[in-house]
Amino acid sequence: MTDQSMARSARGVYGISVASELSGIGPQTLRLYERRGLLTPSRTDGGTRRYSDEDLERLKRITELVDQGVNLVGIAQILDLEAKNSQLVSDYAALELLNADLKAKRKPAARRRAGPGKQRKGLGS
């Protein structure tokens, strides 16, 4: 995804009527989801709701859960856990990169400490 398309996916561009049409969810239900904290569309300076592509994706997930018989409180918990899990996966990947970087830096430092011609214990002898 390009920077421009990522920015667009997070930016609210659709009014409630368009979001309703695109998602197949009525405007009153969209307002209910917002009141229940399932969705937080951005707002214009005048207070008009603006739904983003990310909001529409979230609505798809909410619809899937509703179709499976999950109530709104359960949906809120599931969405929260999914967001936390996604953050943990991202944090873990970042830690893996940092760990690999530290390991790469540690090897040359260990060689310098051992000095020329010296072998570290357990290597080669």
Q: How many domains does the chain have?
A: 1
Is residue 80 a part of any domain in this protein?
Answer: yes
Q: What is the pTM of this model?
A: 0.70
What is the 8-class DSSP label of residue 14? B
Which tokens sit at 79? 């969405």
Residues with Cβ < 8 Å from 117, sequence gap 6 or more? none
Contact 38, 78 (CB under 8 A): no
Is residue 6 a part of any domain in this protein?
Answer: yes
The answer to whether residue 34 scores a pLDDT higher than 90 is yes
- Expressed as residue numbers, the domain containing 12 is 2-106
Task: Check which CATH number belongs to the domain holding 77 and give it.
Answer: 1.10.1660.10
Is residue 7 a part of any domain in this protein?
Answer: yes
Q: Which residues of 79-96 are buried (b: 16+ CB within 10 A; e: fewer)?
A: beeeeeeeeeeeeeeeee
Q: Where are the alpha helices (DSSP H) in the chain?
A: 3-10, 16-23, 27-35, 53-67, 72-114
Given this model, what pLDDT does residue 63 score? 98
pLDDT, one tens digit per residue, over 39-53 is 999 999 999 999 999
Rounded Cα distance, 30 and 26, in Å: 6
Give residue 117's pLDDT band: very low, low, confident or very high (50, 70, 90).
low
Give residue 31's pLDDT band: very low, low, confident or very high (50, 70, 90).
very high
Given this model, what pLDDT does residue 11 score? 78
Closest listed residue to residue 12, CA positions, set 46, 40, 52: 52
